[in-house]
Each structure stands twice: as structure tokens, then as C-alpha cells.
Amino acid sequence: MKRRDVIGAACALSSAGLVPLAWAHHGWSGFDQDRPIYLEGRVLKSLWQNPHVALEIELPAALKLPGDLAQRALPAQSAPVDGKALLARALVPTRKDRRWEIELAPLTRLQAWKVAEIKPGAMVSVLGFTFAGEKGNAVLRAEYLFVDGKAYGLRSSPA
């Protein structure tokens, strides 16, 4: 791809307001896998494509852990993930950002889980990991997605 094509694509994305979502892809090594974070909120933006589906959500003014979080049923997945332990250790973030970027699994994996496209205005909750020390941008790599009363494991395909 020529440099002018990249610049043209960046301008188109910028005018569509999707640059933060489109340029968010990065490795997972900076995420704190020992500190699961719970978020819930209304979807403001949705980028439903590969390499990872991305959402921008707005949290409520006072985010709290749901009382039933540790008891939620989780689906079996092909990767060994101790979801119950993650739910039991979940925390809300200490940072005060109300808008968070959520990085979901690749589109092919969401299709394997039969997740319908999530549109702006939808309510979602996620459990995942943010950067160590909650430093940097308000980004969460989702491990579990909860939408419309269903839970989806995003580490791997359904078992």
C-alpha cells in the first residue's frame, strides 16, 4: 500500500470518528493478567471487523460490581480459563475515566460464539484486563462479554 493510500484511509477514518478504535490494535503483554477488571455501560461506538472487534462504552457515574457476578454461569471454551476465579477476583477500575475502549476477540471468534453485532446504544458488560497499574489509555482487553443476558468466553472458541 502506498503512503498516500494509508494517509487517505487515515483521513477517512478520522472523519468517521473511528481513529481511536482503528489504531488501537497492539500486543497483549502490557495487560495485567492478575487483576481482572469489570466494566459495564452503553456502547457509543462499534467497529465490527478484524483484527479485533472494538467497542467504546460509557460507564455509569458510579460503577459497582454486581452482587451476583461471582455466581454467573460461564460457557465452556476450548482454552483452559478459570473463569470462576476471574469473576471472584474482579474489581472495578480505580481510574475515573467514564469512556473505555473495549477490545473483543477477532470477528471470526465472535461468529463462532454466535454473538450478534453490537450496535451503539446497546448495554454490555465485560470482564477483562487493562494495562498494568491502570496506566495509559482506558483500554480493556475483554476476556468475557455479557450482552442480552448471555455470557461469551473470548479467549478461544466454544468447547
- pLDDT tens for each residue of 15-72: 445 444 444 445 556 788 889 999 999 999 999 998 889 999 999 999 999 999 999 9
Tell me the domains of the chain and their CATH numbers: 24-153 (2.40.50.140)
pLDDT value for 114: 95
Q: What is the DSSP string of the chain?
A: --HHHHHHHHHHHHHHT-HHHHT----STTB-TTS-EEEEEEEEEEE--SS--EEEEE--SS----TTGGG-----BSS---HHHHHHH-B--SS--SEEEEE---HHHHHHTTPPPP-TT-EEEEEEE-BGGG-SS-EEEEEEEEETTEEEE-SS-B-
Q: What is the pLDDT of residue 31?
A: 82
pLDDT on residue 151: 96
